[in-house]
Amino acid sequence: MQSLTLNSYAKLNLVLDVLGQRPDGFHELRTIFERIDLHDTIILKRTSGPIRIVCDHPHVPLGPRNLAYQVAQRLQKDFDIPEGVTITIEKRIPVTAGLAGGSSNAASVLQGLNRLWGLGLTSKKLRDYAWAVGSDVAFFLYDTSYALGEGRGEQIKVLAFKTKLWHVLVTPQVKIYTRDVFRRLNLKLTKKKDNVNILLPFLRGNNLYSIGSSLSNDLEPAILSLKPHWGRLLKEKLFDAGAVGVCFSGSGPSVFALAESQKHALSLRARFDRRFSQVFVVSTY
């Protein structure tokens, strides 16, 4: 096998609870991940040269700052792989948007190189590599639509729910970095409710309006403190357009609106302000 093509999917956080700060400097989280059908395409091609990232998106790093590059470099070193690989990323997932596109790319490359280089890594070893490069990477190693994430988000419990949700996803053309959001986080102001366990029975039972009212993200006040005007305006516009529920994903800036159906999602997108260039209709995958 000389090359391999894989899809690399985005995620939403339907709930994100921040429980406290850990001794290692990270935060203890509980979150419900939803995999959605918005995806990048990853093409891996064996080469005799070095590891190389190819991507035409101007904000995707092409060297060691890229998580996919880091995964390939670790595998190459640990298994004394004498060859290189060209990793072509056809980008559709917005970058630095709270959708974990970079983490998803890293997971796809990890799984792909395990096959392409014939490494024979077990699921546990794949998770070890995922944990080493990023908190969200492990979720994408599981073929699941929903999962509970704990720890830094890397401890995954598969949720075998059949519920299919439709969303309008809006990613404004603003930059918000995860590190800045967590610096702004005031743990004294985070909700004390167990939002994960509130949402789980509604998600299991496909109780759409209860799901919509239970969406929550403890990082929202910190996100809004960085970009207060557009964040509140964006949420208001989505509610005014008829969304069932609205929430930020991850550390933002992406905002997603829960719709009643695909038809409803398409009508929401059609009514939405045209100044936002990155507006998608997406569903659970």
Q: How far is Cα 91 from Cα 95, in angstroms, rounded to an integer? A: 9
Question: Can you say whether residue 249 is alpha, beta or left, with left for phi > 0 and alpha for psi between -120 and 50 degrees?
Answer: beta
pLDDT tens-place values along the chain, 285 residues long: 899 999 999 999 999 999 988 888 788 999 999 999 999 999 999 999 999 999 999 999 999 999 999 999 999 999 999 999 999 999 999 999 999 999 999 999 999 999 999 999 999 999 999 999 999 999 999 999 999 999 999 999 999 999 999 999 999 988 888 889 998 888 776 666 799 999 999 999 999 999 999 999 999 999 999 887 788 888 999 999 999 999 999 998 999 999 999 999 999 998 877 778 899 999 999
Q: Which of 11, 17, 235, 237 is catalytic?
A: 11
- Domain 3-159 falls in which CATH fold? Ribosomal Protein S5; domain 2 (3.30.230)
First-to-last C-alpha distance (Å) of the chain? 28
For residue 18, the model assigns a pLDDT of: 94
CATH number belonging to domain 166-283 = 3.30.70.890
E-assigned strands of 201-254?
216-217, 245-248
For the chain, give every domain's residue range. Answer: 3-159, 166-283
Q: Which of 78, 124, 128, 136 is catalytic?
A: 136
11 in active site: yes
Q: Would you say 259 and 284 are in contact if contact means Cβ atoms under 8 Å apart?
A: no
Cα 98 to the center of its chain, rounded Å? 6
With both helix axes pointing from N to C terminus, report the angle between 101-116 and 67-78 in degrees, rounded to the nearest 10. Answer: 30
For residue 20, the model assigns a pLDDT of: 86
